[in-house]
């Protein structure tokens, strides 16, 4: 008689789960026949706590959702408040927002690409190379706002500080070197036999499956859907810059890896334009710390490194939001995980999870 499937818990602190997250799988030998995603270990009641704090006081909460992309999280929230309150942002602040959002995208994708190579069982050298690029970008954050990870840089109506004098030379140096570095990574990794063997044809997500799962970001684009909010619904100053939307053809782990690599090149392209046209002028508008938007609701979204990040806010006319909700891409992209892993091995599931690139702080909130 065939053996009954047995249950194995992967996590909640497995080194390849990208945070405190547990996957409960039913196995027939090494083959996964069923899977459940178990989350909640990092739940902090952030959305409820935000209803007791002013709109400005809530900005640091957004740093601690996707902590690998704090600049983008700050930006999405500030856009929602500005939409709710009818605030116009100065042009210099709009371009600065693009610059820091794209620097953050490169830093986030560097982490995703480096850890994915590790998940595939390859060597650690690419991860150290990726950390080199990430650290140089975090140096730019530190010289501008004093922080590297939880930056708290964006403000309702602009940004908290203008860039210091040493920022532009340092930023131009990094952006000038990145195309050659990216070419080296592409040569080293895109045809690497370990990555090809572990990622090609694994975890295939078709375009229809991705759309039905409401997936977004590199996950969606790797399945062949050219959807990017920076072009579909432009925000900040993105409508001023030219860039392409990289897409995949097979929707597998390899395509998700390759799309992120191509997106880093497009981010460099945006940065070259933005740094060249950065206008003079103020970087924020004068707003009261305890602003009181008129009663109403607003939803604003951005293209974060992981996909569509949106904030839904409701105002009752008070100094704090009556309702505060986050549409996090990590959480929604993770819902496709079961369909991707069933029928494959435990080792494949680690590669698939790495290709989705979740941040558990954003999953649980």
Per-residue pLDDT tens over the stretch 173-226: 999 999 999 999 899 888 889 899 998 998 899 999 999 999 999 999 999 999
Of residues 5, 2, 10, the one with CA closest to residue 39: 10
pLDDT band at 143 (very low <50, low <70, confident <90, very high): very high
Q: What are the tens digits of pLDDT across the range 261-299? A: 999 999 999 999 999 999 999 999 988 888 899 999 999
Whole-angstrom distance, CA of residue 88 vs CA of residue 169: 29
Whole-number percent of the chain with pLDDT over 70: 98
Residue 123 tokens read as 């060597």
Is the bond preceding residue 12 a cis peptide, omega within 30 degrees? yes
Which pLDDT value is given to residue 2?
Answer: 55
Which pLDDT value is given to residue 67?
Answer: 85
Which pLDDT value is given to residue 270?
Answer: 96
Residue 115 has pLDDT above 70, yes or no: yes
Which pLDDT value is given to residue 123?
Answer: 73
Centre a 10 Å sphere on the Cβ of residue 207 and count the other Cβ atoms it contains.
16
Which pLDDT value is given to residue 1?
Answer: 44
Residue 15 has pLDDT above 60, yes or no: no
Whole-angstrom distance, CA of residue 303 vs CA of residue 319: 28
Which pLDDT value is given to residue 358?
Answer: 87
Residue 80 has pLDDT above 70, yes or no: yes
- Rounded average pLDDT over 149-155: 91
Whole-angstrom distance, CA of residue 332 vs CA of residue 209: 13
Counts of helices then strands in the chain (DSSP H, E): 15, 8
Which pLDDT value is given to residue 17?
Answer: 61
- Rounded average pLDDT over 355-359: 88
Q: Where along the chain do its domains lie?
A: 6-364
Which pLDDT value is given to residue 19?
Answer: 72
Domain at 6-364, CATH homologous superfamily: Cytochrome-c3 Hydrogenase, chain B (1.10.645.10)
β partners of residue 308: 303
pLDDT band at 125 (very low <50, low <70, confident <90, very high): confident
Contacts 24+ apart (CB under 8 A), 75-78: 75/101, 75/154, 75/236, 75/302, 76/300, 76/301, 76/302, 76/304, 76/309, 76/310, 76/311, 77/154, 77/311, 78/154, 78/155, 78/156, 78/157
> Mean of the per-residue pLDDT values for the chain?
90
Whole-number percent of the chain with pLDDT over 90: 61
Residue 16 has pLDDT above 60, yes or no: no
Burial class of residue 196, CB neighbours in 10 A (0-12, 13-18, 19+): middle
- Rounded average pLDDT over 59-83: 92
pLDDT band at 14 (very low <50, low <70, confident <90, very high): low
Residue 229 tokens read as 């909010």
The model carries a pTM of: 0.93
β partners of residue 28: 31
Which pLDDT value is given to residue 30?
Answer: 87
Q: Running DSSP on this structure, what letter comes out for residue 93?
A: H
Q: What are the tens digits of pLDDT across the range 310-355? A: 999 999 999 999 999 999 999 999 888 888 988 888 888 889 988 9
- Rounded average pLDDT over 235-258: 93
């Amino acid at each position: 008689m065939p053996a009954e499937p047995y249950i194995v818990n992967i996590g909640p602190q497995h080194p390849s789960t990208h945070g405190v997250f547990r996957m409960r799988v039913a196995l027939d030998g090494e083959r996964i026949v069923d899977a459940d995603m178990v989350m909640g270990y990092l739940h902090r009641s952030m959305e409820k706590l935000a209803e007791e704090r002013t709109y400005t006081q809530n900005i640091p909460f957004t740093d601690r959702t996707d902590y690998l992309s704090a600049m983008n999280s700050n930006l999405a929230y500030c856009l929602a408040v500005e939409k709710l309150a009818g605030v116009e942002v100065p042009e210099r602040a709009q371009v600065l927002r693009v610059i820091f959002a794209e620097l953050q995208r490169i830093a986030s994708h560097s982490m995703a690409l480096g850890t994915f190579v590790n998940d595939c069982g390859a060597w650690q050298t690419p991860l150290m190379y990726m950390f080199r690029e990430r650290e140089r970008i975090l140096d730019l954050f530190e010289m501008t706002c004093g922080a590297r990870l939880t930056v708290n840089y964006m403000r309702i109506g602009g940004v908290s500080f203008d860039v210091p004098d040493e920022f532009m030379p340092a930023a131009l140096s990094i952006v000038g070197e990145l195309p050659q570095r990216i070419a080296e990574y592409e040569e080293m990794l895109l045809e690497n036999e370990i990555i090809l063997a572990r990622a090609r044809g694994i975890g295939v997500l078709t375009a229809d499956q991705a759309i039905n799962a409401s997936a977004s970001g590199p996950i969606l684009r790797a399945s062949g859907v050219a959807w990017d909010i920076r072009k579909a619904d432009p925000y900040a100053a993105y409508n001023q810059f030219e860039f392409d939307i990289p897409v995949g053809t097979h929707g597998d782990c390899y395509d998700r890896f390759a799309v992120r690599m191509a997106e880093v090149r497009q981010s460099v392209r945006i940065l070259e334009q933005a740094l060249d046209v950065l206008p003079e002028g103020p970087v924020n508008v004068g707003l009261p710390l305890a602003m009181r938007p008129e009663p109403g609701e607003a939803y604003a979204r951005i293209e974060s490194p992981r996909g569509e990040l949106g904030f839904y806010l409701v105002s009752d006319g008070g100094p704090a939001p009556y309702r505060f909700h986050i549409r996090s891409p990590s959480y929604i992209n993770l819902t496709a995980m079961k369909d991707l892993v069933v029928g494959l091995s435990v080792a494949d599931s680690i590669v698939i999870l790495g290709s989705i690139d979740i941040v558990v702080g954003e999953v649980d909130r």
